[in-house]
C-alpha cells in the first residue's frame, strides 16, 4: 500500500515536543523523509529521531538551530540543499506562547512573539521556496492558532503574531501557485501540549467544555491535518486556514 507521504521530504520545525514531535511521528509513519528541527542538541532528541526512522524505515535528520538567529537558519538550509533528498514539504510549527492583558504586555514580549511565531517562519519559508522551486514545487503548512482569529482576551501579542502568519500565508499562496507550491495554515484550538502550562486548570476546563466535542485536542490530531495538507491528497487546497478546534 502506498503511504500518504511516500516520496515526500519534509522540514518540520519545533520537532522536540508537542505538535512538532507528533508531526514527525505521523509523517514518518506515512513514508516521509524528515529534517527534524530542535533549538539545541540533546541525546533524547537524537534517540527519538533514530527510533522513529528505524521503526518506519525512513531517514530522519536532526537539525539544530535557533529560530532567532538568521545565520544558524542559513547553515541549516545549506545542509538541506546539499542533501540527496529534494525538499518538497515545510511545516512551520515552532512557536512560543504568552498570556497577559493588553496593558501588561511589554515591548519585549511583543517582539519575542513576533520574532519566533512570525518572522522566523517568514524567513525560513523564503529560503525553502528557493529550493522547492528547483524541484517542481511543494507544500508549506504553518501552524497558527484560533487565537489569531478569535482575538481572545489576554492573548493580544500571541494572537497578533499568529494573525500575521495567516495573512502572510494567504498572500504567499497567490504568489507561488504558479510554481506549483501550495501554502496553507492550520489553526489549532485548545490542544494538550506544554503551552497549556501557562493556563490554569480552571481556564483549560472551561475552554474544553466550550467546544462541541467537550474536550481538548491532541497533538496527533493536529499532526494528521498538517500531514494531509503536505500530501498530494490536498493538491487543490491552497491559501486556506483550517481550524482544528473541536468546534469552538
Q: Could you give the maximum distance between any two Cα atoms of the chain, in Å?
A: 55
Torsion region of 130: left, alpha or beta (phi above 0 gives left; psi -120 to 50 gives alpha): alpha
Q: What is the pLDDT of residue 201?
A: 82
Residue 2 domain-assigned (yes or no): no
236 is catalytic: no
Under 8 Å between Cβ of 124 and 117: no
Q: What is the pLDDT of residue 203?
A: 79
The pTM for the full model equals 0.95
pLDDT digits (tens, 9 = 90+) for 159-186: 999 999 999 999 999 999 999 999 999 9
Q: How far apart are CA 26 and CA 18, in angstroms?
A: 12
pLDDT-derived band at 68 (thresholds 50, 70, 90) equals very high
Q: What is the mean pLDDT of residues 94-99?
A: 87
Q: How far is CA 209 from the centre of its chain?
A: 26
Pick the catalytic residue from 98, 127, 158, 228. 158
Residue 195 pLDDT greater than 70, yes or no? no
Q: What is the mean pLDDT of residues 63-82?
A: 96
What is the DSSP secondary structure assignment for residue 208, as one 8-state letter? H
**What is the domain count for the chain?**
1
Q: Give start and end residues of each alpha helix (H) in the chain.
A: 18-29, 43-56, 70-82, 107-114, 120-132, 147-150, 156-176, 201-209, 219-230
CATH number assigned to the domain comprising residue 194: 3.40.50.720
Residue 88 domain-assigned (yes or no): yes
Residue 35 domain-assigned (yes or no): yes
Q: What is the pLDDT of residue 100?
A: 87
pLDDT digits (tens, 9 = 90+) for 107-118: 999 999 999 999
Q: What is the pLDDT of residue 198?
A: 66
Residue 193 pLDDT greater than 90, yes or no? no
Which residues form the domain of 58? 9-244
pLDDT digits (tens, 9 = 90+) for 143-159: 999 999 998 888 899 99
Q: What is the mean pLDDT of residues 25-51?
A: 97
Residue 214 domain-assigned (yes or no): yes
Under 8 Å between Cβ of 146 and 207: no
Q: What is the mean pLDDT of residues 204-209?
A: 86
Residue 1 domain-assigned (yes or no): no
Residue 199 pLDDT greater than 80, yes or no? no
Residue 194 pLDDT greater than 80, yes or no? no
Amino acid at each position: 500500500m502506498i503511504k500518504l507521504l511516500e516520496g515526500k521530504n519534509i522540514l518540520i520545525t519545533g520537532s522536540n515536543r508537542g505538535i512538532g514531535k507528533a508531526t514527525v511521528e505521523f509523517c514518518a509513519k506515512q513514508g516521509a523523509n524528515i529534517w527534524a528541527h530542535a533549538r539545541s542538541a540533546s541525546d533524547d532528541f537524537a534517540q527519538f529521531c533514530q527510533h522513529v526512522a528505524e521503526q518506519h524505515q525512513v531517514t530522519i535528520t536532526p537539525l539544530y538551530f535557533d529560530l532567532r538567529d538568521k545565520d544558524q537558519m542559513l547553515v541549516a538550509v545549506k545542509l538541506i540543499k546539499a542533501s540527496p533528498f529534494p525538499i518538497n514539504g515545510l511545516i512551520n510549527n515552532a512557536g512560543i506562547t504568552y498570556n497577559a492583558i493588553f496593558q501588561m504586555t511589554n515591548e519585549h514580549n511583543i517582539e519575542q512573539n513576533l520574532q519566533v511565531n512570525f518572522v522566523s517562519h517568514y524567513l525560513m519559508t523564503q529560503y525553502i521556496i528557493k529550493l522547492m522551486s528547483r524541484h517542481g514545487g511543494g507544500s508549506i503548512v504553518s501552524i497558527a492558532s484560533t487565537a489569531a482569529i478569535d482575538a481572545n482576551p489576554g492573548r493580544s501579542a500571541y494572537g497578533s503574531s499568529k494573525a500575521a502568519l495567516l495573512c502572510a500565508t494567504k498572500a504567499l499562496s497567490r504568489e507561488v501557485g504558479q510554481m506549483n507550491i501550495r501554502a496553507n495554515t492550520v489553526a489549532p484550538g485548545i490542544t494538550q501540549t506544554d503551552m497549556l502550562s501557562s493556563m490554569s486548570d480552571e481556564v483549560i476546563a472551561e475552554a474544553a467544555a466550550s467546544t462541541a466535542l467537550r474536550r481538548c485536542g491532541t497533538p496527533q490530531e493536529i499532526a494528521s491535518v498538517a500531514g494531509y495538507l503536505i500530501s498530494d491528497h490536498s493538491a487543490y487546497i491552497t491559501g486556506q486556514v483550517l481550524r482544528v478546534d473541536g468546534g469552538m
